[in-house]
Structure 1
Amino acid sequence: MKHLGDYFAMGKYFFVFSFGFLFILGCQRTDKVEKEIAQIDTNMQISRFDREFAKAKPEDIPRLKQKYPYLFPSQYADSVWVAKIKDTIQIELSAEAENQFGNLGEESSKLDLLFKHILYYFPDYEIPKVVTLASDVDYNNKIVLADTLLLINLDNYLGKEHKFYSGIQNYIASGLDKRFMISDVVSAFAQKVVPLPHNRNFLSQIIYYGKILYLKDKLIPQDTDAQKIGYEPDQLAWAQANEEQIWRYFIERELLYSTDQKLRQRFLDPAPFTKFGLELDNESPGGLGRYMGWQIVRSFMKNNDVSLQQMLSLPADEIFKKSNYKPKK
């Protein structure tokens, strides 16, 4: 005669078997998609303006202006560019970019793979012409994506310890590393495909960023979660270990449907840490609201049969209610 414990044991083994089967099936589907993506041709073109400008002489300015008119504002005389060619800091910047990136072999392959993924999920997208630069260390414009043009400022990816970044706050300098470059390109692309939230409440804001991060899950699956969100590995580990406590904080203080604009500064904007108003604040990474929105969107996509494009257009409240989100303990 079977005991009740035997039935529980059988159920346990059945659950493990079922879970394992579904996991294998999911991996097979992912492998199939990635094989299809690998066959896509992007016809990507990269122009190395950084190299051309570094080698240029004053008499080359007219040719460069004709080739790259969008990089030479008409209000500046040629003498400005001649002076820049001879500027010692510009010369050193160009040399450092060359030393760090060389022929852009690895970055070019990653960028091409990204465009393959974009074309798989957004087949009507026109791949932009890629132009690399090295000028001014403008970390607010590391990546500029227009309709047919992608500008990548290589001098913003020399590594957080580089001397050019010595006066920049640590939480900003940590993102000035080439391992975040492709993720930054996706962030720029997301502005074109992820609608801004119509609702001003906190839930809409965190799910907006959650959509962007889930987009990275699909477009750069080879990147780590830390690369996608712009964290160091230990910062990601902190977020994962404290997910339940963060969620409880949001719920107990009724933040989800609050329209207090200070919540953006506290939980979403780039910052050295997240502002809970607790003693542990300095231990936390910044922007944890984005991380939480990401987990909600991931839960929604796991529990609902919708396409990536469909999810991006859904309102935050619907995503949240259908996500069945439960924080990891």
Structure 2
Amino acid sequence: MAVKVERFDKIFYETPPADLNKIKQKFPYLFPAATPDAVLVEKMTNPLNRELYTEVQKKYANFEKVNDDLDELFRHMKYYFPETKSPKVITLISEMDYQNKAIYADSLVLISLDLYLGKDHKFYEFPDYLRQNFETSQIMPDIVSSFAVGKIPPPTDKTLLSYMIYSGKELYLKDILLPEISDADRVGYTPEQIKWCEENEGEMWSYFIEGKLLYDSDSKLPNRFINVAPFSKFYLEIDNESPGRVGTWVGWQIVRSFMKNNEVSLQDLLRMDAVEIFNKSKYKPKK
């Protein structure tokens, strides 16, 4: 599946302000009707924005590798989800909107290149746990995360197990759609964080079981174990060594174990109930 990439970041910053209307006509969906032209012209000419644009061009003057990765990803998507439309990919500069680094919306993919300049880039005033994923290697996983929202039904209840399995399904989707990348890149961990999870899997599982947390609906649990954070919150000495989102990592291992031990299609897995997946997974943590 050949993917068409439009470098909107280049078009926007290399177009004279007098020709703004031409861009608006070509990309109407990128310009909210309520935004006055004066605001857009200021954005085009603002020195900080121009500097950011220069940095993006330095990093992504050659886009062939990303383009090849996009072709490969969408070939896999089309294979497993035949209804997938051939997408139009648009690169842009989002002014550091780190919660929307890459967006998949039907036949449109938006990639904010200013958030993939490398974790040590001088422009990033973010904590380490966020910056570590501002790498080119995260573009494809971020697209799959956004794609997954439309493919995985949200949890039907608010138990920790439901959130774990939901997140585990998303990561399993990355196993399938991004078979060539590392587990660290799939989950957005460093190799050291993956190693920590593997070495502490049994201890984490005991904590969840002994605390009767799997079927607990305490609203604090997602922030402790599922959501993006500098570390997970067991309220133990290991907290500072742990990566955030360890519940997501454990959920991933449960889903992997389920798929290893059951003959189920990918589509059926994504629709299945968390409790059924857990009960049939035969999951045993590594001690």
With the length of structure 2 as denominator, give the TM-score of the two structures. Answer: 0.98
What is the aligned partner in structure 1 of residue 23 from structure 2? 64
Question: 2:247: which partner in 1?
Answer: 289
Residues 102-143 of structure 1 deviation map (CA, whole Å, 9 limit, x = unaligned): 131111111110000000100011132110002311101111
- Which of 214, 229, 232 matches 2:187? 229
Distance in 2, matches of 1:163 and 1:140, equals 19
Within 5 Å, give how 1:84-95 maps onto structure 2. Answer: 84-95=43-54
Structure 2: unaligned runs, 5 residues or longer: none
Pick from 115, 140, 143 the counterpart of residue 74 of structure 2: 115
In 1, the alpha carbon distance for the partners of 2:172 and 2:92 equals 29
d(CA) in 2 for partners of 1:188 and 1:225? Answer: 18
Identical columns (%): 49
Corresponding residue of 1:52: 11
Q: Secondary structure at the match of 2:89?
A: strand
Q: 2:105·2:147 contact (CA, 8 Å) conserved in 1? A: no
Deviations 1:5-52 (A, max 9, x none): xxxxxxxxxxxxxxxxxxxxxxxxxxxxxxxxxxxxx13111110111
Q: Aligned partners of 2:83 and 2:139: how far apart in 1?
A: 24
Distance 2:165 2:171 in 1: 9
Matches within 5 A, 1:294-305: 294-305=252-263
Q: Deviations over 1:230-265 (max 9, x none)?
A: 001101110111111111110111111111111101
Is 1:325 aligned with 2:277? no
Q: For structure 1, which runs of at least 5 residues remain unmatched after alignment? A: 1-41
Matched position secondary structure for 2:106: coil
Q: Which residue of 2 aligns with 1:252?
A: 210
Decide whether the 8 Å contact of 1:296 with 1:320 is kept in 2: yes
Determine if contact 1:209/1:293 at 8 Å carries over to the other structure: yes
Counterpart AA for 1:290 = T
The one-letter code sitting in structure 2 at the alignment partner of 1:153 is: S
* Residue of structure 2 in register with 1:155 after alignment: 114
Give the CA deviation at 1:220: 0.2
Correspondences of 1:181-200 after superposition (within 5 Å): 181-200=139-158
Opposite residue 132 of structure 2, the aligned amino acid is: S
Measure, in 1, the Cα distance between the counterparts of 2:94 and 2:245: 28
Match of 2:167 in 1: 209
Distance 1:140 1:208 in 2: 19
> Of 57, 65, 85, which aligns to 1:126?
85
Structure 2 partner of 1:75: 34
**Other structure's SS at 1:193 match:** coil
The letter for the 2-side match of 1:129 is: K
How far apart, CA to CA, are the structure 2 residues paired with 1:267 and 1:282? 13
CA contact (8 A) 1:93 1:135 kept: no
CA deviation vs aligned residue, 1:294-326 (integer Å, no higher than 9, x gap): 000000000001111111111011101110000
Amino acid of the residue matched to residue 114 of structure 2? D
Corresponding position: 1:180 with 2:170? no
Report the RMSD for the aligned CA atoms in angstroms: 0.9
Where relative contact order (Cα < 8 A, 6+ residues apart) is larger, the structure is: 2
Q: How far is the alpha carbon of 1:73 from its aligned partner?
A: 1.4
Whole-angstrom distance in 2 between the partners of 1:135 and 1:312: 31
Say which structure is richer in helix. Answer: 1
Alignment-mate amino acid for residue 103 of structure 1? N
User: Which residue does the alignment assign to 1:141?
Assistant: 100
Q: Paired residues, what number? A: 287
Deviation at 1:158, TM superposition (A): 0.6
Which has the larger Rg?
1
Paired residues of 2:153 and 2:271 also in contact (CA < 8 A):
yes
